[in-house]
Chains A and B, each alone.
Chain A
Amino acid sequence: MMTFIRPRLRKPLRNALAGTVFAAAWALRGGNTSWLAIAIEVTVLVSAITMYVRAGEDNDEGALAGSRADERQKLLSIRSRALGWNFAMVAAFIGLSIAVAVKAAWWWPFLAIFAVAGFGYLLGLSNYGIAEEEPADDAGPRHPARSPAS
């Protein structure tokens, strides 16, 4: 879908779009905090420009920001995201425990994070391999594999 956009522009544009949606949400909310929408939009635009500049650098961060990562850099990104997600899970667990302990009404968002993470994990297992497991091939010295021709 984004292939018609230059690789260096893809992530900065995506982030700018996401930030703009968030800023629009604050603007729609109205009230005396609507000034936050402008502040968020300015921050998002500065961040997107910074990302675009960094995407031109000759290093791992630049390659990832510029959507031109090779296999090692993609692996680096996947591992970093997994670590980030682990931190989020620990934070959600601590938040859930505290919310339950103080009988707070805001316990469910933490549980929702766990549910989404669990679903994503199972979806990942299903998509990336577990579902493709095949029965063991018993071919060996005692059970030689048969040729379709024989």
Chain B
Amino acid sequence: MRNRVREQRTQREMSQAELAASLGVSRQTVISIESGRYLPSLPLAFAIARFFGLTVDKMFDPDEEEAGT
């Protein structure tokens, strides 16, 4: 599943540590989410989407992975 976390974060010129602090998770978890190695829980996915002012389906797109694989 692809996501736009890195894209949105870099657009806002935020560091991974700053985003992690805002979301209440570790920097390592932000790295894992951005790289697609970890799928966040529903509450965390909502928190991420809400933080960037997007909807969850705009933030996380399962179809993109299928197209990429």
Give the distance to chain A from B18, nearest Cβ to Cβ, in Å. Answer: 14
Chain B interface residues (CB < 8 Å from chain A): 24-29, 32, 38, 40-41, 44
Does B27 contact A70, Cβ atoms closer than 8 Å? no
Does B27 contact A73, Cβ atoms closer than 8 Å? no
Chain A interface residues (CB < 8 Å from chain B): 58-60, 63, 69-73
Chain A residues near B24 (CB-CB < 8 A): 70
Does B27 contact A72, Cβ atoms closer than 8 Å? no
A1 and B38 CA atoms in complex are apart in Å by 32
Top 8 closest pairs, chain A to chain B, by CB: A70-B25, A72-B29, A70-B26, A72-B38, A70-B29, A71-B41, A63-B26, A60-B28
Chain A residues near B26 (CB-CB < 8 A): 60, 63, 69-70, 72-73
Does B44 contact A71, Cβ atoms closer than 8 Å? yes
Does B25 contact A71, Cβ atoms closer than 8 Å? yes
Chain B residues near A69 (CB-CB < 8 A): 26
Closest to A71 in B: B41
Candidates A58, A60, A63, A71; contact of B40 at CB < 8 Å: A71
Give the distance to chain B from A14, nearest Cβ to Cβ, in Å. Answer: 22
Chain A residues near B27 (CB-CB < 8 A): 58
Chain A residues near B44 (CB-CB < 8 A): 71
Give the distance to chain B from A62, nearest Cβ to Cβ, in Å. Answer: 9
Give the distance to chain A from B45, nearest Cβ to Cβ, in Å. Answer: 11
A72 and B38 CA atoms in complex are apart in Å by 8
